């Protein structure tokens, strides 16, 4: 088998262009995605502690194409400091949801 000589970024961009990357979850704590590879679908993402991928290359601490693709479309979640105004807004939203009203 001949190894493709294109760069990691080029291969990652090709995965995105081919529609083989599906981001399934993004929130303030984590990112999850599936990337359809040549032979299998890989689970890729970020959670506290760092980025991860279940592919063979990542098991040997090598930068892999599925992870590079996810990193091109998602940034690492950052925590914003909790301020009084953010806390009040979150409480108001929770109260409105509980009471059956949706907030904009």
pLDDT digits over 53-98, tens only? 999 998 898 989 999 999 999 876 666 677 888 788 888 888 888 7
CA 78 to chain CA mean position, Å? 13
Write the pLDDT tens digit of every residue in 31-50: 999 999 889 999 999 998 88
Are 103 and 91 spatial neighbours (Cβ–Cβ below 8 Å)? no
pTM metric for this prediction: 0.67
Direct distance between the N- and C-terminal alpha carbons of the chain, in angstroms, rounded to an integer: 54
Max intra-chain CA distance, the chain: 61
C-alpha–C-alpha distance, residues 45 and 77, integer Å: 11
What is the tens place of the pLDDT at every residue in 12-24?
Answer: 999 999 999 999 9
Residue 1, pLDDT score: 44
């Amino acid at each position: 088998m001949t190894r493709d000589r294109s760069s990691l970024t080029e291969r990652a961009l090709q995965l995105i262009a081919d529609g083989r990357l599906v981001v399934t979850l993004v929130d303030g704590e984590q990112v999850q995605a599936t990337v359809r590879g040549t032979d299998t679908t890989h689970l890729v993402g970020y959670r506290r502690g760092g980025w991860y991928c279940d592919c063979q290359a990542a098991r040997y601490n090598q930068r892999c194409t599925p992870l590079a693709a996810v990193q091109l479309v998602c940034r690492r979640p950052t925590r914003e400091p909790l301020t009084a105004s953010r806390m009040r807004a979150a409480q108001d939203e929770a109260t409105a949801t509980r009471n059956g009203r949706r907030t904009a």
